[in-house]
Structure 1
Amino acid sequence: MKEKNKGVSRKERGIKILLDDFGTGYLSLNYLKQLPIDIVKIDRSFIQNMTYDQKEQKMAKSLIDLSHILDLKVVAEGIEDERQAELLKIFSCDFGQGYLFGKPMPKEEFLELAKRF
């Protein structure tokens, strides 16, 4: 049996690979150049204190800048207030998620919400 999408790259198929919790654990920066990653998701631990801690702010900005240098999109997780969202916008973060935008919800509730947009 012949595979329908044989020879078509994952990017041509619209498949993206996201690296979750970027900046935490034992992740080597070397993986950023070795793995076929399209998007990095910055862990909330870098976001939660950045409105009043200059070091946290610089770390978040550096992670975003490094990702962009490597042609990766960035998602910041754990955005809980307007000031965090404002700073991330200034830092050119591509996407954000967190309680500021909405709480976790069941699939059915999300689909109803999505229909309104």
Structure 2
Amino acid sequence: MEQSWKQTLIQTLLVTVIAVNMMWIGLLVARNRLEPAGTAPVMGRPGTPASQKEVRLQYEGVTSEGEWEVEHYRTIEILRDEKGREIQSRPTGEETHLRYWKGDRS
């Protein structure tokens, strides 16, 4: 019984090694025989963006609503030139509100 288990394991490993080697040979042969059809040289060069876009949250203030304190933020979009200087800043219309409980802690 012990001998058949070892023999099965050895046969399985042998078959796996043979299969992997055959796949490697197939890949090497295919790499040398196949060429992509219709390839053209690349003439362009990668472009650099003239400006960078950045999105930030701008603090608008805080309000108290009963036992809650609410912080208000507005999302703004900032455009910067290639040197990092701000060109334009505009609100996106999106707002975020963070609510904190300030009431009794018991």
What interval of TM-score do these two structures reach, taking the shorter chain for normalisation? under 0.3
Decide which structure has the larger Cα Rg and report it: 2
- Name whichever structure is richer in strand by fraction: 2
TM superposition score normalised by structure 2: 0.20
